[in-house]
Amino acid sequence: MRDAERDLLITGAKELGIELGAQVELLLRLVDELEQANKHFNLTAIRDRPGMLRKHVLDSLSLQPYLLGTRAADVGTGAGFPGLALAIVNPERRFTLIEATGKKARFVEQTAQALSCRNVTVVNSRAETYRPFELFDTVVARALSSLADFVAYAGHLCAPGGRLLAMKGKRPDDEISALPRSFRVLAVHRLKVPGLADERHLVELKRSSKTKS
């Protein structure tokens, strides 16, 4: 079973342009930690391991080509996705994982320590009240209500010239049209997650040069 899971991740990551070496073992251990903790806490509705590998790990890794710079924030990281998975395959980047729910933040903190992810900082806070010393080149969110909300509570975390990356299912044209003028859409990317037929899109946002807000 472990060999099959290893092959699933290696093959899937390769389709995303990522060559996994020893990192595949850390990604499998990440799923081990999630599966074990999920027996006691409701961290994810996905219970089967192949589902976790595809819908959490590979889904997270689909962001890889769009990461900018060396400092990234994951807003509302939940059980650690996409932030932990991306941190494992990007040891040269620093990731700050922001989560308001205490039990989820504790799980992510403990898992990052167990996997020796020294490039991960966990912040148990609401994004809108978090004021980091340094801003982030890339700010990502997977579990978010709307693009306007994402900009409202996480836009201040984005460094000048940085990017907000919003992971969505179907192309959110209504949400795009409702965006405030402080941010503009650079691109909407259609994502293909290996092994999943579900529709996936990534909305790439940048602070508008027309406003300082």
| In a domain? residue 56 | yes
CATH of the domain at 99: 3.40.50.150
Q: How far apart are CA 42 and CA 78, in angstroms?
A: 11
Q: How far apart are CA 95 and CA 12, in angstroms?
A: 23
pLDDT tens by residue, 38-68: 988 888 888 899 999 999 999 999 999 999 9
| In a domain? residue 212 | no
**pLDDT classification of 210: cutoffs 50, 70, 90:** low
| Helices and strands (H, E) in the chain, number of each type | 8, 7
pTM for the model: 0.95
**pLDDT classification of 213: cutoffs 50, 70, 90:** very low
Q: How far apart are CA 78 and CA 43, in angstroms?
A: 7
Backbone angles phi, psi at 28, to 5 degrees: -70, -40
Structure tokens at 29: 């251990």
Q: Residue 7: pLDDT above 50?
A: yes
Share of the chain above pLDDT 90, in %: 90
129 lies in which domain range? 2-207
Whole-number pLDDT of residue 211 = 47
Q: Domains in the chain: how many in total?
A: 1
| In a domain? residue 213 | no
